[in-house]
Amino acid sequence: MMATMPSHDVLIIGAGLAGQRAALAAADAGASVAIISKVHPVRSHSVAAAGGINAALGADDTWESHAFDTVKGSDYLGDQDAIEVMCREAPDEILHLEHVGVTFHRSPTGHLGTRAFGGASQARTYYVADITGQAILHVLYEQLMKHHATVDRFEEWFTTELLQDDAGACVGAVCRNIRDGRLEVFDAKSVILASGGAGQVYKPTTNALICTGDGIAQAYRVGAPLMDMEMIQYHPTTLAENGFLITEGARGEGAHLYNAKGERFMERYAPNKLELASRDVVSRAEQTEINEGRGFPDGTISLDITKVPRKRTLEALREIVNIGRDFAGVDITREPIKIRPGAHYIMGGVKTDVDGQTPIPGLYAAGEVACVSVHGGNRLGANSLLDTLIFGRRSGVHAAARAQQVAMPAAPASAVDATRARIDAILARPAGGRRVSEIKTELGETMNRYVAVFRDADGLGQAHEVVRRLKEEAETAHVDDRGTVFNQDVLGAIELGYMLEVAETIVVAAQERKESRGAQYRTDFPERNDGEWLKHIDVSRNGDETPHVSYSPVTITQWEPQERTY
């Protein structure tokens, strides 16, 4: 399993669905591959994906219909060339998964069965009960093990930074073996960032503790532009106490939303699609009900899954039966459960083309860390798993082809010196500064207060001030564990730095976009303004560590922007 270290054609940072799919594609293309993950690969956050994955496979469905729904869902900010690629290639990807062993749900006739999902004009979400991510991740991991001769797995290794050569090309990364604290340089001809999202920038969040935006910050630090960072998705159905997700699959199966007066309020906001309007629309409707006093006193509204036949819930939604019982004390097959919108997904990320290439030669990105941009202002449910697989595969293929053209770099062993000095400095901090966890909590609560479903200039300004102060405080945040073995304390301090970097770019982009589109609803600019803002906001470092804003055009192929109603 562990072959030679540390030179490979393709180095993949992250072993969720995007990373594993990229590794398999690169290996199939003949490249030697290293795949690194800070947790065991099947604990990557893709394992939490519940509801399903979209593809236009049905006899009555077309990729154009899927693409239009995605464009509309994105509030016309998604790049239509990339959306076309994703939707065109989706059916083959689902069939490929099925052939390698993913046990997708089948209808009584034996055909692959679908469920409805938000913002879609057809039921085109393929699923494995409500453990779709887990099912796919485990099957891909089996395939990775089958490729042990060409894919070296580095499990529980933490990437601290990307390495560049004198010409600025990405030539590898510095990584720390979490088990013993050893630092290594990993040389590679091509590097693919597949390190997932940044949900922990918010509190609460549906995302796991490991989703700390590492790759987004690492790319930003070497000068790669980030795009659409203001677009943070609030999922309509999360538990108030802890942010746990109740999958959209519940509404797909027929669950209804009610306010505290018992009104099915979505009739007022999205008379055609009701609960299955796109997520930004449903979350905004819920938050409006809550803000205007029609929610429950604890700031929630209710999701009634008893509308779904009990037998079906027990079969197709069994994970949320468990979540309801264990974390809310509610039997969702017999009574409504209280929910509210919660931070869930980042549409923005490291800017790439449809082959995963960033503007930094040799550096690719795929999955939630990346912004292709197929989700634009708002991602449709079940389009993210698809994004990870399509663009993971395409990145793997392209990175492998590039590797055939360039010589193997060889960064000096001293490339780890700066990292070692930084880590030593963290370990040497005297007690007395704030704790990492305190800073992280203040960050998450600030973002959830000011950079959430509704935003305005005043709140964003306050958020920016807090983030800048926390960046300073993080410089002295002390850690208790000074050891080398599984020192999660020191990794937590490094991750905090990534999160603060990502948070600042989110806030700056949200301040910049003076209109309302998708997940960015500015109460001080409540209309979508295509004349001025039908463009991407790119954020990059301008040398002095402050985010620098520029714009790039939205690619429109066949769908001109229209008014968006559901």
Ligand X SMILES: Cc1cc2nc3c(=O)[nH]c(=O)nc-3n(C[C@H](O)[C@H](O)[C@H](O)COP(=O)(O)OP(=O)(O)OC[C@H]3O[C@@H](n4cnc5c(N)ncnc54)[C@H](O)[C@@H]3O)c2cc1C
Residues in touch with ligand X (CB under 6 A)? 13-19, 36-39, 41, 44-46, 48-53, 132-133, 158-159, 194-197, 206-207, 210-211, 214, 245, 345, 367-369, 382-385, 388
User: Is the CB of 77 or the CB of 246 nearer to ligand X?
Assistant: 246
Nearer Cβ to ligand X, position 46 or 74? 46
Encoded amino acid at 557, one letter: T
Task: Tell me whether residue 63 or residue 345 sits nearer to ligand X (CB atom).
Answer: 345
Structure tokens that stand for 403 in this block: 């590797």
Q: Which of 510, 436, 437 is nearest to 474 (CA)?
A: 436
21, 176, 279, 541: which is the annotated catalytic residue? 279
Supply the minimum distance, in Å, between the C-beta of residue 310 and ligand X. Answer: 22
Tokens of 76: 């016309």
Q: What is the nearest approach in angstroms of ligand X to the Cβ of residue 263?
A: 28
What SS3 class is residue 135? helix
Helix (H), strand (E) at residue 552: strand 547-553
To the nearest whole angstrom, how small is the minimum distance from the Cβ of residue 490 to ligand X? 13
Is residue 522 annotated as a catalytic residue, yes or no? Answer: no
Min dist CB 65 to ligand X, Å, is: 18
- The residues facing 517 across adjacent strands are 520
Which residue in this structure is represented by tokens 């994703």? 86
Q: CA quadruple 358, 362, 365, 366: dihedral positive or negative?
A: positive
Q: Is it true that the peptide bond before 65 is cis, omega within 30 degrees of 0? A: no
Q: Is the CB of 357 or the CB of 511 nearer to ligand X?
A: 357
What single-letter amino acid sits at 404? Q
Displacement of CA 324 from its chain's centroid (Å): 24
| Closer residue to ligand X in complex, CB, 51/362 | 51
For the chain, give the number of residues: 566
| Nearest residue (CB) to ligand X, 36 versus 470 | 36
What is the rounded CA–CA span in Å between residue 87 and residue 55? 7
Residue 278 Cβ, how far from ligand X at the closest point, in Å? 14
- Where is 8: in which H helix or E strand? strand 7-13
Q: Closest approach of Cβ 16 to ligand X, in Å?
A: 2
DSSP type of residue 543: S
CA angle 439, 458, 244 (to 5 degrees): 50
3-state SS assignment for residue 345: strand
- Residues taking part in catalysis: 279
